[in-house]
């Protein structure tokens, strides 16, 4: 295998796995609760700023993980209580309300940190040499962590009873209540899990992208496109969608340039939204 091809292949793998991790938060909230959280990208942004805050103070990068967990978790708790809970089963109002939330978070970040880019120092500099190529170590770690997170979620969702109860609640809330499931608390927990996942995704990508108030917009759209293409309700769907969107982006970017990658993604997503809103695997 030629080294250039191998590097491109790892690039694609990197693109797909990190995208999948960034989608997970939205997949949990939209796929399980049916709530389209447009502010998903802003939770990613908050996570990224957590990483910046930690490293800017000279603290170890890994401290960003508990910080993002707490910040995004608390934010998720408040948002669920104030914004989401009154609007369950009113998907359209949720859309508008979370759209407002995304603006609020973005403007707040703008007010605190300014519009400019911040960069987070790579916690793991240098490259690793293997199979005859050199590849940035942090990216390789990121790929590994992403695969771990995805696998963990896949196993947890398939076998744990919490996952099953969420499925039960979403499928038939009245019956879930009749069997003693406190649906309000479960839904809140699910929402918070989603925002935390988004925040952790933000921490992970922070060293690789410019951290700025508007970064979330791109993530929510990509995440949404991934879900539309892959279909809702399964980790495998997320992977398939991320493979399609991330793969397409990486391949087209590599062949032509980045703008066209993004361009292709937009066109494909619009076609899917329009013609196959329930994803690749939908039958009818």
Partner 1 sequence: MTGQRSAPAPAAQDPAPAPGLVFEAVEGGYGSATVVRGLSGMAAPGEVLCVLGRNGVGKSTLMKLLLGYIPCLAGRVLLDGRPLDRLDPPARRRRGITYCPQERPVFDDLSVRDNLTLMRHDRTLAAFAPYFARFPILERRLNQHAGTLSGGEKKILSIVRGLSEEERVVLLDEPSEGVQWENILHMAELIAERKAKGVAFIVVEQNLAFAERIADRYLVMDQGKSVLAGPRAEIGRDAILAHLHV
Partner 2 sequence: MRTTSLGILAILLLPLVVGDYWIYQFGLYFLYAAAAVGIGACWGRAGFLPLGQAMFFGIAAYLSGLALIACDGSATALIFLPLAAAASGLLAYLIAALVFRGIGESGAYFSMITLALSLLTFQIANNWSTVTGGFNGLKGIPGLPGIESYTASYYVAAVALILVLGLCGWLYDAPIGILWRALAENERRVALFGFDTNRLKAIAFGVSGLVAGIGGVLYAPQQGLVSPQLTGFILSANLVIWVAVGGRGTLLGPVLGTLIVGALTTQLRDTIPFWEVLMAAFFIFVVLAMPDGLAGAIARAATRLTASSHLARKLMGGGAARPKIMAPARTLEAGGAQLEIRDVSAGIGEVAILDRLSFAIRQSGISCIIGPNGAGKTSTFNLLTGELAARRGQVVLDGVMVSGMAPHRIVRRGVGRKFQIPSVFPDLAIADNLGIALWSGRASWLDLLRPRLRRWTSPMLEELCERYPFLAEADRRAAELSHGERQILELAMALLTEPRVLLLDEPCAGLSPEETQGVIDVIRWAAPRLGSAIVVIEHDMSLVKALAATVYVLHNGTLLAEGSVAEIQADPAVRAVYVGSEK
User: Which residues sit at the interface with partner 2, rule CB under 8 A?
Assistant: 36, 82-83, 86-87, 91-93, 95-97, 99-101, 103-104, 106-108, 110-111, 217, 221, 224-225, 228, 259, 262-263, 266-267, 269-270, 273-275, 277
CB closer to partner 2, 185 vs 274: 274
Q: Closest by alpha carbon to 145, among 13, 21, 263?
A: 21
DSSP letters, the chain, are --HHHHHHHHHHHHHHHHHHHHHHHHIIIIIIH----TTHHHHHHHHHHHHHHHHHTT--GGGHHHHHHHHHHHHHHHHIIIIIGGGTT-HHHHHHHHHHHHHHHHHHHHHHH-SS-B-PPPSS-SEEEETTEEEEHHHHHHHHHHHHHHHHHHHHHHH-HHHHHHHHHHH-HHHHHHTT--HHHHHHHHHHHHHHHHHHHHHHHGGGS-B-TTHHHHHHHHHHHHHHHH-SS-HHHHHHHHHHHHHHHHHHHHHS-HHHHHHHHHHHHHHHHHH-TT-TT---
Smallest gap from Cβ 273 to partner 2, in A, equals 5
Smallest gap from Cβ 31 to partner 1, in A, equals 13
Smallest gap from Cβ 171 to partner 1, in A, equals 5
Any contact of residue 129 with partner 1 (CB under 8 A)?
no
Any contact of residue 160 with partner 1 (CB under 8 A)?
no
7, 140, 181, 217: residue in contact with partner 1 (rule CB under 8 A):
181
Any contact of residue 180 with partner 1 (CB under 8 A)?
yes
| Residues in a beta bridge with 130 | 133
**Which residues lie closer than 8 Å to 7 by C-beta, 6 or more apart?**
133, 135
Any contact of residue 161 with partner 1 (CB under 8 A)?
yes
Which listed option, partner 1, partner 2, none, makes contact with residue 171 (CB within 5 to 8 Å by class)?
partner 1
Any contact of residue 155 with partner 1 (CB under 8 A)?
no
**What CA–CA distance (Å, rounded) separates 187 from 137?**
38
Token pair listed for 43: 């939770």
Residue 91 contacts residue 99 (beta carbons within 8 Å) = no
Smallest gap from Cβ 90 to partner 2, in A, equals 10
Which listed option, partner 2, partner 1, none, makes contact with residue 45 (CB within 5 to 8 Å by class)?
none
124, 168, 209, 254: residue in contact with partner 1 (rule CB under 8 A):
168
164, 266, 271, 282: residue in contact with partner 1 (rule CB under 8 A):
164
Smallest gap from Cβ 160 to partner 2, in A, equals 27
Any contact of residue 178 with partner 1 (CB under 8 A)?
yes
Which listed option, partner 1, partner 2, none, makes contact with residue 270 (CB within 5 to 8 Å by class)?
partner 2
Any contact of residue 57 with partner 1 (CB under 8 A)?
no
Could you tell me which stretch among 162-170, 215-223, 243-251, 259-267 binds partner 1 (CB under 8 A)?
Answer: 162-170
Token pair listed for 240: 């398939």
Which listed option, partner 2, partner 1, none, makes contact with residue 95 (CB within 5 to 8 Å by class)?
partner 2
User: For binding to partner 1 (CB under 8 A), which residues are involved?
Assistant: 161, 164-165, 167-168, 171-172, 174-183
């Amino acid at each position: 295998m030629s080294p250039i091809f191998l590097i491109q292949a790892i690039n694609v793998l990197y693109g797909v796995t990190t995208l999948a991790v960034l989608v997970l938060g939205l997949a949990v909230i939209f796929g399980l609760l049916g709530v389209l959280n447009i502010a998903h990208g802003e939770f990613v942004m908050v996570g990224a700023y957590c990483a910046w805050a930690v490293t800017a103070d000279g603290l170890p990068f890994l401290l960003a993980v508990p910080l993002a967990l707490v910040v995004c978790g608390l934010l998720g708790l408040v948002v669920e209580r104030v914004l989401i809970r009154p609007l369950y089963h009113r998907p359209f109002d949720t859309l508008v309300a979370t759209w407002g939330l995304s603006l609020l978070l973005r403007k707040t970040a703008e007010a605190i940190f300014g519009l400019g880019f911040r960069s987070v120092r790579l916690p793991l500099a240098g490259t690793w040499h293997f199979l005859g190529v050199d590849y940035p170590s942090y990216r390789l770690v990121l790929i590994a962590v992403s695969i771990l997170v995805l696998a963990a979620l896949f196993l947890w969702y398939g076998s744990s009873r919490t996952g099953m109860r969420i499925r039960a609640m979403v499928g038939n809330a009245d019956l879930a209540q009749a069997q003693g499931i406190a649906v309000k608390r479960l839904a809140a927990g699910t929402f918070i899990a989603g925002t935390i996942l988004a925040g952790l995704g933000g921490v992970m990508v922070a060293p690789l992208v410019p951290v700025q108030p508007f970064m979330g917009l791109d993530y929510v759209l990509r995440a949404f496109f991934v879900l539309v293409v892959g279909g809702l309700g399964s980790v495998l769907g997320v992977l398939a969608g991320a493979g399609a969107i991330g793969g397409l982006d990486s391949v087209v970017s590599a062949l032509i340039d980045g703008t066209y990658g993004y361009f292709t993604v937009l066109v494909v997503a619009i076609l899917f939204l329009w013609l196959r809103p329930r994803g690749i695997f939908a039958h009818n």
